[in-house]
Amino acid sequence: MTFIQSFGAAETVTGSCHFLQLKNGPNILVDCGYFQGENEEQTYAPFDFDPKDVDIVLLTHAHLDHVGRVPKLVKEGFDGKVVALRATMDLAEVILMDSAKIAEEDYKTALKKAKRTGYEKRVPPPIYTSDDAKAVFDLIIQYADYNKAIQLVPGVKVTFRNAGHILGSATIQIEVSEEGYTKSLVFSGDLGSRRDIIMTPPSFVKKADALYIESTYGDRDHRPLKETIDECKEIIINTLKNQGNVLIPSFAIERTQEVLLLIKQMYYDKELPVCKVFLDSPMAIRATQIYNNYHAELNASASKLLLRDGTVFDFPYLQYSLKAKDSMLINKKESGCIIIAGSGMCTGGRILHHFKHRLWDDRNSVIFVGYQVKGTLGRQMIDGAESIQLFHEKINVNAKIHMLNGFSAHADQSDLVAWMSEFEQLEKIYLIHGEPDKQAVFKDVIKEQLHKPVHIVKYGEKIYV
């Protein structure tokens, strides 16, 4: 009998990894991502299944918490086929190579410290290396197109539909024919908002015997996007006029591109004071180039800017800081800067160096434009930390801290309910990708508004479908 087990994103937001064992077919893994925040240690734990038993990996999109452990999967024996959108694999290459580089650098640093005390044998090797990440792209990769079914094996087909979350993001529908009956199993992936600065709205699915749906913001609605944009503009304008700098910790994929689009539009609307805008993240720079390459998949706002000057993102104030020396030169500028740097949750990256130089100055502003997982530095700051520990140094948080949830690339409660309302047949709903308290609220909302059976998935729970 067909069953699904979730070995990640079960009563937590990150670590997406869903194992589908078909009665008479291949073993399918939907996503294989990093755990982040307070569950980070699970990333390094052994898999709860044998990677050699996985025949096919389907990827919903390229965020680290959905693809980050694929090299580990390959390293430990997976040699099957990967199916994903071409844009997803282009972005995944950027994400995975960066992840491998960080893992290797962290290992070298830990080993160097351990050698001073003679404990180098206790230092675990990196979760994977750059060579392991490259090996992912040596596998058989089958590229999907939106809304075109792919026959995986006789009796099993998969269709990718636009999830509207980031470039190449998909909702995955797996149709399994067994004993004259076809079951439709749907994994929402991360769904985007119906009102997004850069992406088109999510596409609908018509039938699901079992729907595995994300619930990150299942407990609430985002504030209206226009209000969020207006507030963001006000913070930027006021900070720059007061001789301050704007620091934006940003996720390399999607959120950075949204912010760039907004700031570029401010420039053309003559709302932006004269300033320097630094994109200080090699990964975000490469991702932005990929977004530009796939501009046909972006929405009307992006297309309008492309037609205006031949590029979606570039404008005269914008500078790309690709190398470390370029990043360090930013510190020489005392004011008049907008600095967009990774990482989005402040768990590493160049944003930490900018915090060291500017977080203590009350003229400056920090704008968080994405979800901050429990246990991350970003979460500490939005929860009101008066100081943070950074590079073995206490840094006072005197800069103004702003959390703008309206930019979220995730659907909110109303978006999720509206998306599910479009199903013509929806038998049972399974909640994944959410914190337990938020899932409990969302479960009650679904029962009240959709009158459908709903279950909160637990880690490793075997669910027969």
What pLDDT sits at residue 312?
Answer: 96
| pLDDT single digits (tens) 140-157 | 999 999 999 999 999 999
In this prediction, residue 166 carries a pLDDT of: 95
The band of 412, judged by pLDDT with boundaries at 50, 70 and 90, is very high
CA dist 143 and 135 (Å) reads: 17
Binning pLDDT at 50, 70 and 90, where does residue 302 land?
A: very high
How does pLDDT run across 168-226, given as a tens digit for each residue? 999 999 999 988 899 999 999 999 999 889 999 999 999 999 999 999 999 999 989 99
DSSP result, 54-118: --EEE-S---HHHHTTHHHHHHTT--SEEEEEHHHHHHHHHHHHHHHHHHHHHHHHHHHHHHTTT
448 pLDDT higher than 90: yes
Up-side HSE of residue 33: CA atoms within 13 Å toward CB? 31
pLDDT at 360 over 80: yes
The two three-digit tokens of residue 78, written as one number = 């997976």
CA–CA separation, 330 vs 431, rounded Å?
A: 44
- Predicted local distance difference test score (pLDDT) of residue 115: 85
Q: 451 pLDDT exceeds 80?
A: yes
Band (367; pLDDT cuts 50, 70, 90): very high
- pTM for the model: 0.91
Position 240 pLDDT exceeds 80: yes
Query: Residue 121 pLDDT > 80, yes or no?
Result: no
Q: Averaged over 295-319, what is the pLDDT?
A: 94
Q: How many residues does the chain have?
A: 465
Angstrom distance (rounded) from CA 29 to CA 188 = 14
Q: What is the DSSP letter of 203?
A: P
Q: Quick one: average pLDDT of 288-315?
A: 94
Tell me what the mean pLDDT of segment 289-304 comes to: 94
What is the reported pLDDT for 123? 87
Q: What is the CATH number of domain 225-407?
A: 3.40.50.10890
The predicted structure's pLDDT at residue 120: 79
Question: Percent of the chain beyond pLDDT 90?
Answer: 87
**What residue spans of 251-396 are helical by DSSP H?**
255-268, 282-293, 300-309, 324-330, 351-358, 377-382
Predicted pLDDT of residue 24: 78
pLDDT at 156: 96
Task: Provide the token pair at 260.
Answer: 């760039």
Domains 3-220+409-464 and 225-407 in one fold: no
For residue 38, the model assigns a pLDDT of: 83
Q: How far is CA 328 from the centre of its chain?
A: 27
Q: Does residue 371 carry a pLDDT above 80?
A: no
Look at residue 348 in the predicted model and tell me its pLDDT.
85
Measure Cα distances from 29 to 24, 41, 59, 210, 277 in Å: 16, 21, 8, 16, 41
Predicted pLDDT at 212? 98
317 has a pLDDT exceeding 90 = yes
Which whole number is the average pLDDT over 105-126?
86
C-beta of residue 318 within 8 angstroms of C-beta of residue 256: no
Where do the domains of the chain lie?
A: 3-220+409-464, 225-407
Give the span between the Cα atoms of 415 and 205, in whole angstroms: 14
344 pLDDT above the threshold of 90 = no
Sorting pLDDT into bands at 50, 70 and 90, what band is 461? very high
pLDDT for res 335: 97
CATH of 3-220+409-464 given 3.30.565.10, 3.60.15.10, 3.40.50.300, 3.40.50.2000: 3.60.15.10
Across residues 32-57, what is the average pLDDT?
95
Question: Residue 96 CB: number of other CB atoms within 10 A?
Answer: 25
Residue 333 corresponds to which amino acid? K
Do strands 156-162 and 150-153 pair parallel, antiparallel, or not at all (unpaired)?
Answer: antiparallel
Please report which confidence band the pLDDT of residue 37 belongs to, taking 50, 70 and 90 as the band edges.
confident
**Mean per-residue pLDDT for 122-126?**
89
Q: Quick check: 330 pLDDT over 80?
A: yes
Q: What angle do CA 338, 344, 347 make, to 5 degrees?
A: 120
Q: Which two tokens stand for residue 348?
A: 């590493």
What's the pLDDT tens digit per position in 385-401? 999 999 989 999 999 99
